[in-house]
Protein backbone atom coordinates (compact mmCIF):
# COMPACT_ATOMS: atom_id res chain seq x y z
CA UNK A 1 0.00 0.00 0.00
CA UNK A 2 1.50 3.35 -0.98
CA UNK A 3 0.56 6.74 0.33
CA UNK A 4 0.58 9.79 -1.82
CA UNK A 5 1.75 12.99 -0.22
CA UNK A 6 -0.45 15.96 -1.05
CA UNK A 7 1.25 19.31 -1.15
CA UNK A 8 -0.75 22.51 -1.17
CA UNK A 9 -0.57 24.48 -4.37
CA UNK A 10 -0.15 28.17 -3.84
CA UNK A 11 -1.37 30.57 -6.45
CA UNK A 12 0.56 33.82 -6.89
CA UNK A 13 -2.72 35.77 -7.05
CA UNK A 14 -4.08 34.36 -3.78
CA UNK A 15 -1.71 34.90 -0.83
CA UNK A 16 -1.65 32.40 2.00
CA UNK A 17 -2.32 35.25 4.42
CA UNK A 18 -2.39 39.03 4.39
CA UNK A 19 -0.06 40.95 6.70
CA UNK A 20 1.05 44.50 7.36
CA UNK A 21 4.49 45.25 5.94
CA UNK A 22 7.29 46.98 7.87
CA UNK A 23 6.38 50.48 6.67
CA UNK A 24 2.72 50.03 7.61
CA UNK A 25 3.65 48.65 11.04
CA UNK A 26 5.93 51.63 11.67
CA UNK A 27 3.05 54.05 11.00
CA UNK A 28 0.61 52.07 13.15
CA UNK A 29 3.02 51.57 16.06
CA UNK A 30 3.96 55.25 16.03
CA UNK A 31 0.32 56.17 16.63
CA UNK A 32 -0.06 53.33 19.12
CA UNK A 33 2.92 54.56 21.16
CA UNK A 34 1.53 58.09 21.36
CA UNK A 35 -1.89 56.81 22.45
CA UNK A 36 -0.31 54.60 25.13
CA UNK A 37 1.68 57.60 26.40
CA UNK A 38 -1.58 59.59 26.58
CA UNK A 39 -3.15 56.77 28.62
CA UNK A 40 -5.83 55.98 26.03
CA UNK A 41 -4.70 52.55 24.83
CA UNK A 42 -3.13 49.69 26.76
CA UNK A 43 -2.89 46.61 24.54
CA UNK A 44 -3.06 45.45 20.95
CA UNK A 45 -3.49 42.30 18.88
CA UNK A 46 -2.59 41.45 15.32
CA UNK A 47 -4.49 38.98 13.14
CA UNK A 48 -3.19 37.90 9.73
CA UNK A 49 -6.01 36.19 7.88
CA UNK A 50 -6.40 34.91 4.34
CA UNK A 51 -8.26 37.96 3.01
CA UNK A 52 -7.34 40.71 5.50
CA UNK A 53 -4.94 41.80 8.23
CA UNK A 54 -6.25 43.39 11.42
CA UNK A 55 -4.50 45.47 14.10
CA UNK A 56 -6.88 45.62 17.10
CA UNK A 57 -6.49 48.21 19.86
CA UNK A 58 -7.71 47.63 23.42
CA UNK A 59 -8.22 49.85 26.43
CA UNK A 60 -7.76 46.82 28.70
CA UNK A 61 -6.44 43.37 27.86
CA UNK A 62 -9.56 41.19 28.10
CA UNK A 63 -12.25 43.22 26.38
CA UNK A 64 -13.53 44.03 22.92
CA UNK A 65 -11.22 46.16 20.77
CA UNK A 66 -11.83 49.91 20.78
CA UNK A 67 -10.69 50.17 17.17
CA UNK A 68 -9.59 47.85 14.40
CA UNK A 69 -7.18 48.99 11.72
CA UNK A 70 -7.86 46.71 8.76
CA UNK A 71 -6.06 46.02 5.51
CA UNK A 72 -8.15 44.51 2.68
CA UNK A 73 -5.95 44.15 -0.43
CA UNK A 74 -8.97 43.20 -2.57
CA UNK A 75 -10.37 46.72 -2.06
CA UNK A 76 -7.13 48.37 -3.24
CA UNK A 77 -8.62 49.52 -6.56
CA UNK A 78 -12.03 50.44 -5.18
CA UNK A 79 -12.56 52.26 -1.87
CA UNK A 80 -9.03 51.78 -0.56
CA UNK A 81 -7.44 48.87 1.23
CA UNK A 82 -7.16 50.52 4.67
CA UNK A 83 -9.99 51.20 7.10
CA UNK A 84 -10.52 52.10 10.75
CA UNK A 85 -13.49 50.35 12.34
CA UNK A 86 -15.01 51.41 15.67
CA UNK A 87 -16.13 49.17 18.54
CA UNK A 88 -19.67 49.07 17.17
CA UNK A 89 -18.52 47.91 13.71
CA UNK A 90 -18.98 51.28 12.04
CA UNK A 91 -16.29 52.20 9.51
CA UNK A 92 -14.88 55.53 10.70
CA UNK A 93 -12.52 56.12 7.76
CA UNK A 94 -11.49 54.25 4.63
CA UNK A 95 -8.88 55.08 2.02
CA UNK A 96 -5.81 54.28 -0.02
CA UNK A 97 -3.20 55.93 2.25
CA UNK A 98 -2.68 54.51 5.75
CA UNK A 99 -1.48 57.79 7.30
CA UNK A 100 -4.54 59.61 6.00
CA UNK A 101 -6.89 56.92 7.32
CA UNK A 102 -5.26 56.98 10.77
CA UNK A 103 -5.85 60.74 11.12
CA UNK A 104 -9.33 59.93 12.41
CA UNK A 105 -7.64 58.40 15.48
CA UNK A 106 -5.10 61.21 15.83
CA UNK A 107 -7.96 63.65 16.32
CA UNK A 108 -8.98 61.58 19.32
CA UNK A 109 -5.39 61.87 20.62
CA UNK A 110 -5.54 65.66 20.39
CA UNK A 111 -8.81 65.67 22.35
CA UNK A 112 -7.31 63.33 24.97
CA UNK A 113 -4.29 65.58 25.50
CA UNK A 114 -6.42 68.73 25.80
pLDDT digits (tens, 9 = 90+) for 5-17: 555 555 555 557 8
102, 31 contact by CB (below 8 A): yes
Provide the Cα torsion 34, 36, 44, 86; round to 10°.
-80
Its pTM stands at: 0.78
63 vs 28: which has the higher pLDDT: 28
40, 59 contact by CB (below 8 A): yes
- Domain limits of the chain? 22-113
* β 91-95/82-86 pair status: antiparallel
98 DSSP 8-state letter: H
pLDDT digits (tens, 9 = 90+) for 100-113: 999 998 876 665 55
pLDDT digits (tens, 9 = 90+) for 87-104: 888 999 999 999 999 999
Inter-CA distances, 48 with 17, 20, 54, 69, 111, Å: 6, 8, 7, 12, 31
What is the C-alpha radius of gyration for the chain, rounded to an integer number of angstroms? 17
Amino acid sequence: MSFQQITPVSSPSIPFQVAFDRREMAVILSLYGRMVAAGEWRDYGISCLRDMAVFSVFRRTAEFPLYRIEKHPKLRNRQGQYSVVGMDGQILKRGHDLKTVLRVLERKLIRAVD
